[in-house]
Each structure stands twice: as C-alpha cells, then as structure tokens.
Structure 1
Amino acid sequence: MSPKIAFQGELGAYGHQACAEARPDHAPLPCPTFTAAIEAVRTGDADLGMIAVENSTYGRVADVHSLLPQSGLHIVDEQFIRVHINLLAKQGARLDKVKTAFGHVVILPQCAGFLRENGITPRAKSDNAKAARDVAEGEDLTVGALASELAADIYGLDILARNIEDASNNTTRFLIMAREPDYQRRGTGSMMTSFVFHVRNIPAALYKAMGGFATNGVNMTKLESYMVGGSFTATQFYAEIEGHPDDRNVQLALEELNYFTDYMHVMGVYPEAPHRRDRLQT
C-alpha cells in the first residue's frame, strides 16, 4: 500500500498539485480543513501533511502558524508551487458568455484584473477544486471556476483562459509535516531551521534575542508574531533561519536566544527547496 499525504481541499486543489510534485510516490488524501489534514497525520491516517503557509500575492495563510506549534508534528520539507490560475468551464462554454466565476476567497484577488476586464463577477467558494467539481456537475455554461489545470483534467472541464493571475510570480509555499522529526542533512543546498518562542518580560528582550543571530552570522529569513490565546499581552514568534542546529554559529545564536526567552521549540529542520532563491528573487 502506498504511503499517504494529506492536504487541505479536494482533488485538483493546489495542495494536491504540491503533493504530486513533491511526493509523487504518496497517495493524496484530501481533507476539508488544515486542522483535518494535521489530524490525519497525527492519527496515522496519513504519513505526511502538505500545509500551505503563505502566498507571494496574498500573504500568509490565516491561522496556520498558530495551528502548527500545537499540532505535535514536525516540518521535514518545504515545497514552492507556481500558482497558475485558469478559468475552467463546462465543455461548450465560451469566455465571452461566462458571467460568474467561483474560487476560494484567497484566489479571487489574485486574478481580479482579468475578471474585471472580462466582466466576470467573482464569487467565493470554500475550495477551488470544489468550485471546479460543482461546475462540472452543473449545466450552466455561464458559470466558471478558478482552479488548476489538474482540476480541469480531473473533472473534465475546458480551460477557457490560462494563467490569468495578475502577478507573474504568484507562488504558494507549503510545509511538509510528519509525526517524527528528521534532523539529517539532506539535499545540496542550505538547511533551514524553524522554531517558535516567547520572549521574557524584560525591556528590549526581542531586540537582544535577535542580536545573537546577527553577531553569529546566522541569516533569519522569517520572523512573524501572533497572539496566543486571544491575549494582547501574550505574543508568540515564529522564526526561520538558514542553518542546522548542529552548526556552531546556529548553536551560539540559539543559546543567546534561550537566555531571553521563557519558551523555545524547534518546529523542524529541513533542506532549502531547490527553487527557494529563484522564487524569492522573482
């Protein structure tokens, strides 16, 4: 039996595309929510989870960073997917006759220019692949779905317009989660380390905690904050750095961080994606 990889959405979603590209030997397991995808890995129904965390146009995916530290899972890889948005419709439909297009609330702003130019009204759907399936199951030739080429193949839809995203570098980053951590050095590029932490309640604690990374030459590629438990005074930080915890400069930086924090947890150690720098520089 093939191992399984869980993702949020239905077959044909961009998460499904990420699974197919990153783990073609794993059977995709569609889940209605990110929470359900994480739970599938936790319970053993899936071996891995493909979790979207940010999009170059839309920004970070809401609530995901607050879900990950509580999941009990570990980041073992990352995957970047170039998001090509396509207008799909029933066979026989024409672009100039389409009046409404359905897609996830995140994807609608990413092709707002095309929709406006063609007089198409955007409508929100819980999932892009579900929008494609609903269009396929209906009979209305004036309704379209905003989804992937994969969704068109799965549901037998025509592609009326390809690559209609407004931004030419529209990319989504996914994290691959597993029940067990993998601290092995893998790949030919740099290793990445992700962690969460709370700073101590002392003046300039965050500033001092970050100083250790600068003085030890550790490049921090991400630092984000979010509230914990709905409190305006409890802030958790999510950070990503280049390097492996066994690297001496990373060890020194984390030791200094530990002095100014009352909680620190490594979320995962994983190889830098082959196209990470290309994606970030585009």
Structure 2
Amino acid sequence: MALKAVGTWIGGIHHVGLNDLGRRRSVDAAAVAPRWRGEGFRTGRLESLGCVSVEPLEDENLSRMSPSSPELDRVSGNWNSENKPASWSRDLGSLPKPLSLTDLSTSSRGSDVRVAYQGSPGAFSETAALKAYPKCVAVPCEQFEVAFKAVELWLVDKAVLPIENSLIGSIHRNYDLLRCHKLHIVGEVQLAVDLCLMALPGVTKEELGRVLSHPQALAQCENAISKLRVIRESFDDTAGAAQLIATKGLRDAGAIASARAAELYGLRILENKMQDISTNITRFLILAREPIIPRTDRPFKTSIVFTLEEGPGVLFKALAVFALRSINLTKIESRPQRSSPIRLVDDSNHGTAKYFDYLFYIDFEASMAEPRAQNALAHLQEFAKFLRVLGCYPMDTSL
C-alpha cells in the first residue's frame, strides 16, 4: 500500500527522514514547543509534534460492546443473602462489585479521581491504581475490555491495566485492546508482586486438593504448585479466587493472591512468595481519554504501534531510525494482524509466498518534545504503511 503523507507539522519543523542526521540545517529545539490538537494523537495518525499522517488500517473491532449499552446504575452492590460469608469471615457486603458489560452506562461522578482496574478488591491491579493515585476511587471491572470502555464512556477518569510481567512476559490481550481502542497511555506503574497461598482459617496445605488463581499467577508459581500436587483451576483474577473461597466456604481449595486479598476476605496465608523467582515485577499502563503534554524535565517514554511495507531488511531499517539518533528501545512486541493476518508476496524463485502480517509495538526512551523523537518517527514513516503513537508519558523509575 502506498504511503499517503500529508504534512501536519507543528512548531516550524518542515523536514523529515535523514535531515536531522546532518544533511540539512539542524533543528532549533526552541522551535518545537508542542501545540497539541484538541484530540491529541488520533487513531492511525500522528497529528502532533512533527509527524505526518499515514493512511490507517481498519479497526480490528476486538471489542464487541455496543455503544448503546444500558446506562450504569451501580458501581457497587451488596451480596445476596445466600452468599454471605461464614461467621469467621469478614463482612464482604461493603466491597464494590466489579463492573460487567451490562453495567456500562452513565453514573454520577464525584470530584475524586476514579480509576478502573480489572479484578476484584484486593487485586494487584488495584494496588497499582492506588500507587499511581493514592487518593483515587478504585473501580473494579470484570474484564480488561470493561475497563477500556469505562474510560471511553466517561464513567471513570483513568484505567490501570497490566501490560507485562518479568516472569511470564507480555499480556497480549491488552496489546490487542490498545490497538482497537482510542485511549492514550499517560503513565506507567511498576509493582513488585508477592504471590501468597491462602485458605480458610484452620485449613492446612495437606488438605488442599486444588488451587485457584488467575492463569498468569498460576504460571508464575509453576514450581511451587507442582510440589503441592494439587489441581490448578483458572479464575478471572487473583482476588476473585480468594473471594470465592471465602464466600463459598471451600475447605478443599486454596487461592494464590495478594496479602491484602487474604486480609479483605478473612483467609489465612499458608505460604508467602509463592512465585518461582523472588523478584517478580509487573508493569502497568495508565490510560486516559486525552494525552498529556510531553516534557523534557524528566525521563519520558513513548509507545508506538506500526506495520511495515514488504521488503528485505525493512524491520532492520525501521529499528535503525532509533539507533541512528541514540534512542534506547525498551520494549519490542509483535502481534499478528487479526483483520488480515496473511500477506501474499511474489517470490521470483517459488511463486507466491504467504506470510503472517504483523503489528509491531515499540517503547523507546525519549519524549515527543525532543526533535530526535519527532524526526525518528518521521523517518520511520518512510518504511511504515501504518503508524500510531499510543502515548508519551513519564517513566516510573521506582518500585
């Protein structure tokens, strides 16, 4: 597909590609002060800070929620009488009930920042939300898609969602959702995760016949679970598994979740640090409806997604645009294009060849307020048939 570029330069920069590498006059850094458009970075286009627009791909429509979803009439709810916890457990009726797909509609909003996360109260995502916004109202959601939609429908101000873990790698579902939704990454949170094995008071490890948790938490504790000789059962989230054991009084089951979940649901911790490697870090993204203005007074990171034209060495050329400007890449992820996964290529030796067509996600350490970042993306568009900035945001350098 031919590149359709239309100049949308801001701040007086009119050259692209290799110009910033010495072939023409240098860029005056003072001339690139950002002037953001009302909608910030739009889907499929770079419409801010020195980037030209590129013809976008079609949306992959990963989210199946109708825009006419019924209006939200609750954010929290009480438990049914038959689900009340046993006498030894805490009263769980005051905990907010996670939003579901049918709950996405208008709700009155207070002055506090409302932050959506996937899972039940006590989930690690809730801890990440509270680390980012200590005084926020944390709103639990049943699914990742619900958290995305809650921000888009103005039910919450932000969403905090996991994107990668140091033990098991990327959370691919959220990469796919970033592509098909129009939210912007405005921050990141790095959280040290300690997974705990918990059960009802009085239950020992030897009595457990099964362990419940999120699939990723189970994967992070593969060796420890194998030693227990129990059945693994996947659950929507770690805290939800603990909640189920508490509300149903399951004496044959244990949950792997946070220490806070054990406290919330009245469970007893049988073992701390269940993860196979003690250093267990999960990185979360903070999503919002509007981008933030990039600066240079602190370390910034930029996340992009793009596809490339067919040709030998084209991926090497795409990555070289960052190396030529001494820009450090911190993350590279590829995902097949769901709408058109197969690319047909004429091969002079073997006829027509079929290859998977990929989306490439890249994080790099530079602010879009820097000319080198603007020029790197302009140079990248010489090889890309689609390019979108997912966000430019401050780096989290703390744990």
TM normalised by structure 1 equals 0.92
Aligned equivalents of 2:297, 2:260: Cα separation in 1: 28
Secondary structure in 1 aligned to 2:361?
strand
Hey, what does 2:148 align to over in structure 1?
A: 38
- The residue that corresponds to 2:329 in the other structure is 220
Match of 1:243 in 2: 366
In the alignment, the residues of structure 1 paired with residue 296 and residue 230 of structure 2 have an alpha-carbon distance, to the nearest angstrom, of 46
1:201 to 2:310 alignment: yes
The separation in 2 between residues aligned to 1:264 and 1:3, in whole angstroms, is: 31
Paired residue for 2:395? Answer: 272
Letter of the 2:248 counterpart: G
Tell me which of 169, 172, 175 is aligned to 1:65: 175
Higher deviation after alignment, 85-94 or 224-233: 224-233
Deviation at 1:76, TM superposition (A): 0.4
1:69-108 mapped onto 2 (5 Å cutoff): 69-108=179-218
Once the two structures are overlaid, the 10-residue window that deviates more, 169-178 or 221-230, is 221-230
- 1:227-238 equivalences under 5 Å are 227-228=336-337, 229-233=339-343, 234-238=357-361
The Cα of 1:186 is off from its aligned counterpart by 7.6
Determine the C-alpha separation between the residues in 2 that align with 1:187 and 1:179.
24
Match in the other structure for 1:263: 386
CA contact (8 A) 1:76 1:177 kept: yes
Q: Using the TM superposition, give the Cα deviation of residue 187 of structure 1 relative to its aligned residue in structure 2, in angstroms.
A: 7.2
- Distance in 2, Cα, partners of 1:113 & 1:198: 38
Residue 255 (structure 2) aligned to one of 145, 150, 166: 145
Corresponding letter in the other structure for 1:216: R
- Identity of paired residues, percent? 33
Identify the range of structure 1 (154-163 vs 72-81) with the bigger mean alpha-carbon deviation: 154-163
Specify whether residues 135 and 265 from structure 1 end up closer, same or farther in structure 2 by C-alpha distance, changes over 3 A only.
Answer: same
Give, in whole Å, the separation in 2 of the partners of 1:59 and 1:205.
26
Counterpart AA for 1:160: L
Q: Provide Cα deviations, 1:73-113, integer angstroms capped at 9, x if missing partner.
A: 00000011111110111122223322221111111121122
CA contact (8 A) 2:294 2:369 kept: no
Q: Please report how far the alpha carbon of residue 160 of structure 1 lies from its aligned counterpart in structure 2 after TM superposition.
A: 1.3
Cα deviation digits, residues 192-242 of structure 1 (max 9, x gap): 001111212344322222221111111111121111225132321111110
Q: TM-score, normalised by structure 2?
A: 0.66
For 2:64, the equivalent position in structure 1 comes to: none
Deviates more, 1:194-203 or 1:127-136: 194-203
Tell me if structure 2 keeps the 8 A contact 1:84–1:170: yes
**222-231 or 263-272: which moved more?**
222-231
- Show the counterpart of 1:158: 268
- Which of the pair is proportionally richer in strand? 1
Q: Any gaps of 5 or more consecutive residues in structure 1?
A: none
Query: Measured at CA, do residues 101 and 9 of structure 1 come closer, stay the same or move farther in structure 2, by a change above 3 Å?
Result: same
Amino acid at match of 1:51: L
Change in 2 beyond 3 A, CA 1:136/1:120 = same
Structure 1 CA distance, aligned partners of 2:333 and 2:235? 28
Q: Work out the CA distance in 1 between the residues paired with 2:295 and 2:174.
A: 26
CA-based RMSD of the aligned residues comes to 1.7
Structure 1's 79 and 187: CA in aligned 2 closer, same or farther, altered over 3 A?
Answer: farther
Specify the structure having the higher radius of gyration (Cα).
2
CA contact (8 A) 1:13 1:127 kept: yes
Task: Give the counterpart letter for 1:254 in structure 2.
Answer: L
**Residue 174 to residue 187, structure 1, CA distance change in 2 (3 Å):** farther
Equivalent position of 1:55 in the other structure = 165
- Structure showing the higher helix proportion among its residues: 1
Could you report, residue by residue, the CA deviation over 1:27-70 in whole angstroms, capped at 9, with x for unpaired residues? 11111111110000000111001111111111111221111022
* Dislocated runs of 4+, deviation >3 Å: none
Partner of residue 285 from structure 2, selected from 175, 181, 187: 175
**SS of residue matched to 1:238:** strand
